Structure formats: C-alpha cells, structure tokens
Structure 1
C-alpha cells in the first residue's frame, strides 16, 4: 500500500509540476505578447517622427527651390527689361544728341 501511495504522490507531484509549467509558459506568452505590442508601438512612434522630419525637410527643400526659382525668374525678367531699355536708348540717342546740339548752338537775343 505504501508503494501505491508513493506512486500516487509521484503522480500528484508530476501534475503539480505540469500545472506550474503551464503557468510559466502562459505567463511567458503573455509577456512576449505585451513586449511585441510595446515594440510595435515604439516602432510606430519612431516611424511617425521620421516621417515628420522627412516631410519637414522636403518642405524646406521645396520652399528653397521655389525661392531660388523665383529669384532666377526675377533676374531673367530684370535682364530682359535692361536690354529693352538699352535698345530704346540706342533708338532715341541720335535724336537726343541732335536736340542737344540744336539748343547749344542756337543763339538767342
């Protein structure tokens, strides 16, 4: 009868050990799930920050390019206007010189 009790006690110990092992495994799975969720949340935050930085950088580059483009366009328009004024001056220059010579050489009493 002692061997039956010791066999029954051994089985009981095995069942208890199995339950403890199941609790440990369950706890480890829960911890792993929690940690995976934390890692995903951290990655999402990091990705959002990175995206925000990249978008800000893109906007800065875009505005710089836009400013440079506007400056270049204004420079081109200015050069065109300067050239137009030079051409106009060349056209009227002989008339202005003739008019000035006329006033300088005319004697009034």
Structure 2
C-alpha cells in the first residue's frame, strides 16, 4: 500500500510539474509575442520619425534652393548689366582713341 501511495504521489507531482512547465511555456510564448509586437511598433515609429525628418529636410533644402536660384538669377542679371556698362564705356574709350589717331596726322 505504501508503494502505491508513493507512486500516486509521484504521478501527482509529475502532473503538477507538467502543468507548471506548460504554464511557463505559455507565459514565455505570450511574452515573446508581446516583445515582438512592441519591437515592431518601435521600428514603425522610428521609421515614421525618420521619414518625417527626411521630408522636413527635403522641404527645407528645396525651399532654399528656390531662394538660392532666385538670388543667383538676380546676381547674374546685375553682373550682366555691369559688364554691358563696362563694355559700353570701353567702347566709347576705344572710339575716342581711334578717332584721335585717325584725325591726328603726323607731318
């Protein structure tokens, strides 16, 4: 009788151990699933933040390129006007010099 009581006790302990292991495995699986979902959410948030930063920098640089383009157009136009003015001044000086040499005859 004592043997059967010991065997029954061992069977009960084995069932309890199986139940504890099964519960622990389920808890572990649940926690792993939660960790995976949390990691996916973090990755998604991180990517959306990076995308937002990229779009912001892109809009900042494209906006500045428009203003840079306008500034360069204005500067180019000013330089063209300056060169035209300088060319007309040099042209007048050249005409005056040529006229002087043509009209002065060495005798």
Q: TM-score, normalised on structure 2?
A: 0.75
Indicate the residue corresponding to 2:104 in structure 1: none
Alignment: residue pair count: 89
Indicate the residue corresponding to 2:46 in structure 1: 50
Please list every run of 5 or more consecutive structure 2 residues that lacks an aligned counterpart in the other structure.
93-107
Q: TM-score, normalised on structure 1?
A: 0.74
For 1:83 and 1:57, the matched residues in 2 are separated by 38
Please list every run of 5 or more consecutive structure 1 residues that lacks an aligned counterpart in the other structure.
95-109
For 1:81 and 1:70, the matched residues in 2 are separated by 17
Indicate the residue corresponding to 1:22 in structure 2: 18
Indicate the residue corresponding to 2:74 in structure 1: 78
1:48: Cα distance to partner? 0.4
Indicate the residue corresponding to 2:95 in structure 1: none
